[in-house]
Chain A
Amino acid sequence: MKKLLSLILALGLLFFILSTIRIQKEKSGQRIAVLMEDIAFKEARNQYISYQVGIYTGPQVVIDKALAQGLVFTEPSKVIVLEVKNEH
């Protein structure tokens, strides 16, 4: 009788541990899913911001702004190129 009781208790404990693990797994799965969604959203947001930066730094926008401020394209022969020469 004592042995049977011990067996039942051991089995009960095993089932309890297994179900706790299972519940924890499900909870972790939910948390990971939420975090992954959050990461994906933040990635999407960052990409969107970099896309907007791309728009604002695009040649059309820059040229329009430059022209609006009275800047003009220089003649190529008037361009002075400065080169940093290695002293060593």
Chain B
Amino acid sequence: MNTKQRIQLCGIIALGFSLIIFIRLFFIQTIQHKEFSAKAQKRVYTQTKADTLRGQILDRNGVVLAKSLRTYAVAVSKKNVNNKEALFKALTQTLEVPKDKLNKLWREKKNFFYVKKKVSPIDYEKLEEVLNSQKITGVELEREYTRLYPYEDIAKDMIGATNSKNRGLSGLELMFDKELSQEAPSQKVKRSRWGGIIYDKSLERELSIADIYLTIDSLAQYQVESILKKYGQKYKVKNAIAIVQEAKTGYILAAASYPSVDGHALPFQFTYEPGSTFKTIGAASALDAGTIQPNNIFSMENNKWNVNGIIIKDHQEKPWLTVSEILEVSSNIGAGKITLELGAKSLYSYFKKFGFGVKTNVGFLGESAGILREYSTWKPIDTAKAGYGYTVSVSPVQLVSAYSVFANGGTLMQAHLIDKITYPDGRVEQIAKPNAIRRVVKKETAAQVSKWLENVVNKGTGKPAKVKGYRIAGKTGTTEKFNASGKYEKSAHIASFCGFAPASEPEWTILVILDEPEKALFGSTSAKIFSEIVSYLLTMKGIQPDGEDL
């Protein structure tokens, strides 16, 4: 074989190899393209886990009521475990998972099983240290977000709940879900040989989650909830409600329900006939309209007043009562006479001005508007009954706002539950501002009603509301409830008290409602709860005494 032939042979061999490589490459890149492409993608890329970030809910002082924290779900992949005993020991010691549970899971599950979810970063760190130092394999850690409540159940009825995907389910969590949450979708990212991801600019994410500030004060809220729970249990109530409003600004300082159910805030959603607490509204309307004067006296008709064939009864002894006395002894006849004299049209107009029959727009999902029928449908008995709080249904926030009118010199203030929303770019959306909706009654009317309400506490049914050293104004209310057949139930009552303190310079208006108490049937019981709540608030804020009984 000469040189030329050898070169030709080498050329043919080289060409042959090239051809083989070419055919193989062609086969891989065209026929087996999908399979190899998928393998390459799997080696080079990985998917990040989809997440939902969520902002915080805070009280007026910036105290966190709800926040989402990164936690971990710890799982075991049996086929990757190199030392079962060491693994079980590590999990038992760091996560406090009982060994029996681990053994059971190991026996029952084929390969993959979760050991514990919502593991804190601190426990996660401990576990990781042990796993690394002892070179234990087979543990898989997944990142997750958990909604946590540092003050546990405080304001849970307002805050509501989130689901496992960190989205709002009820209450404020649902109402502000759009502002609070931000989806972080699963992303395709490059991975290194050792499994970690390689940072890429596409991973950068602009945060858009907002924080919601409430007008609630967490300390006041806690105390109100505790007091409500104590009496709720004592009197075996169906529901107990308390709402505290700042008289001058309309801000809700505390709003509590017992029993507390996530997302069901009764101070905004409950509807009831207010009973005698409504006598104040009727008397104030008549006084403001000029149909009564403070020195007027009313005949009590021997405690049996006939209104178009329907008898209204009272349980007091005096034959004649002044307006103040009507409120002090809580006379239905007196209150009925006052509103009947005012007339349905004027009374209805005042009810509207006080804010009844429409939502207050306090800032809570599912707020009740109450029930206020058109006055044209009222019969004389309806007008009389409206004077002592029947035929009209109200929500607690409506009634407390209406009482704030007297505490605030005759002006209805906008009720607020949401203080502000803050965004990560520094923007602040201020929602709560002291906003006067309208003048409801004259300043002199408000002052006179305030005096009447002080008399109720000093001399009348509201005595249990007294706080030593302070002037308190308020009115009791006891209402029979409607039963399923549409009749008033003698054994099912709502006992309530609404008032404000200190009466000389009111800070707060407070409404307490006991729904179907088993043991205490009268509004004076709610007045006692009012007294405890207001005592705490006065102490908390260091308000100086304005009364003479020190």
Contact residues of A with B, CB < 8 Å? 26, 28-30, 32-34, 36-37, 40-41, 44-45, 47-49, 51, 54-55, 58-60, 73-77, 79, 81
Which one of A33, A45, A60, A73 contacts B121 once the chains associate, using CB atoms below 8 Å? Answer: A45
**Nearest-CB distance from A40 to chain B (Å)?**
7
Which one of A28, A30, A47 contacts B67 once the chains associate, using CB atoms below 8 Å? Answer: A47
**Nearest-CB distance from A27 to chain B (Å)?**
9
Q: In this complex, what residue of B is CB-closest to A49?
A: B122
Q: In this complex, what residue of A is CB-closest to B542?
A: A81
Given known pairs A58-B150, A59-B223, A76-B539, the reply for A44 and B470 (CB within 8 Å) is no
Cross-chain contact B196 with A34 (CB below 8 angstroms): yes
Q: In this complex, what residue of B is CB-closest to A37?
A: B196
Cross-chain contact B468 with A75 (CB below 8 angstroms): yes
Looking at B121, B219, B222, B539, which has the most chain A CB atoms within 10 Å of its CB?
B121
**Nearest-CB distance from A54 to chain B (Å)?**
3
**Nearest-CB distance from A82 to chain B (Å)?**
9
Q: How many angstroms from the CA of A75 to the CA of B547 in the assembled complex?
A: 14
Cross-chain pairs A/B with CB under 8 angstroms, 7 sampled: A30-B196, A33-B199, A44-B70, A45-B125, A48-B69, A73-B535, A74-B539
Q: How many angstroms from the CA of A40 to the CA of B70 in the assembled complex?
A: 9
Cross-chain contact B122 with A45 (CB below 8 angstroms): yes
**Nearest-CB distance from A83 to chain B (Å)?**
10
Cross-chain contact A73 with B151 (CB below 8 angstroms): no
Which one of A37, A49, A73 contacts B539 once the chains associate, using CB atoms below 8 Å? Answer: A73
**Nearest-CB distance from A44 to chain B (Å)?**
4
Q: How many angstroms from the CA of A54 to the CA of B152 in the assembled complex?
A: 10
Q: How many angstroms from the CA of A28 to the CA of B201 in the assembled complex?
A: 12
Cross-chain contact A81 with B69 (CB below 8 angstroms): no
Cross-chain contact A75 with B535 (CB below 8 angstroms): yes
Q: In this complex, what residue of A is CB-closest to B63?
A: A54
Cross-chain contact B542 with A79 (CB below 8 angstroms): yes
Instruction: Name the A residues within 8 Å of B122 (CB-CB).
Output: 45, 48-49
Instruction: Name the B residues within 8 Å of A32 (CB-CB).
Output: 199
Instruction: Name the A residues within 8 Å of B393 (CB-CB).
Output: none
Q: How many angstroms from the CA of A32 to the CA of B189 in the assembled complex?
A: 14
Q: How many angstroms from the CA of A26 to the CA of B150 in the assembled complex?
A: 41
Q: How many angstroms from the CA of A75 to the CA of B550 in the assembled complex?
A: 11
Q: How many angstroms from the CA of A37 to the CA of B199 in the assembled complex?
A: 10
Closest 6 CB pairs of A and B: A77-B469, A54-B150, A76-B538, A32-B199, A29-B198, A44-B70
**Nearest-CB distance from A38 to chain B (Å)?**
11
Instruction: Mark contacts of B520-550 with chain A using CB atoms, 8 A cut-off: 1 yes-contact digit, 0 otherwise.
Output: 0000000000000001101100111100001
Instruction: Name the B residues within 8 Å of A29 (CB-CB).
Output: 190, 198-200
Q: How many angstroms from the CA of A74 to the CA of B125 in the assembled complex?
A: 45
Does B192 count as interface, using CB distance less than 8 angstroms? yes
Does B61 count as interface, using CB distance less than 8 angstroms? no
Instruction: Mark contacts of B15-57 with chain A using CB atoms, 8 A cut-off: 1 yes-contact digit, 0 otherwise.
Output: 0000000000000000000000000000000000000000000
Q: How many angstroms from the CA of A81 to the CA of B544 in the assembled complex?
A: 8
**Nearest-CB distance from B204 to chain A (Å)?**
10
Cross-chain contact B545 with A77 (CB below 8 angstroms): yes
Cross-chain contact B469 with A33 (CB below 8 angstroms): no
Q: How many angstroms from the CA of A79 to the CA of B543 in the assembled complex?
A: 8
- B182-205 interface (Cβ within 8 A of A): 190, 192, 196-200
Instruction: Name the B residues within 8 Å of A49 (CB-CB).
Output: 122
Does B148 count as interface, using CB distance less than 8 angstroms? yes
Instruction: Name the B residues within 8 Å of A81 (CB-CB).
Output: 542, 544
Does B261 count as interface, using CB distance less than 8 angstroms? no
Cross-chain contact B470 with A76 (CB below 8 angstroms): yes
- B121-159 interface (Cβ within 8 A of A): 121-122, 125, 148, 150-152, 154
Instruction: Name the A residues within 8 Å of B154 (CB-CB).
Output: 58-59
Cross-chain contact A47 with B198 (CB below 8 angstroms): no
**Nearest-CB distance from B102 to chain A (Å)?**
25
Which one of B70, B198, B470, B535 contacts A26 once the chains associate, using CB atoms below 8 Å? Answer: B198
Q: In this complex, what residue of A is CB-closest to B538?
A: A76
Cross-chain contact B69 with A33 (CB below 8 angstroms): no
Cross-chain contact A54 with B64 (CB below 8 angstroms): yes
Does B218 count as interface, using CB distance less than 8 angstroms? yes
Cross-chain contact A59 with B539 (CB below 8 angstroms): no
Instruction: Mark contacts of B403-423 with chain A using CB atoms, 8 A cut-off: 1 yes-contact digit, 0 otherwise.
Output: 000000000000000000000
**Nearest-CB distance from B110 to chain A (Å)?**
31
Cross-chain contact A48 with B121 (CB below 8 angstroms): yes
Instruction: Name the A residues within 8 Å of B152 (CB-CB).
Output: 58, 60
Q: How many angstroms from the CA of A77 to the CA of B531 in the assembled complex?
A: 13
Which one of B69, B192, B223 contacts A47 once the chains associate, using CB atoms below 8 Å? Answer: B69
Does B120 count as interface, using CB distance less than 8 angstroms? yes
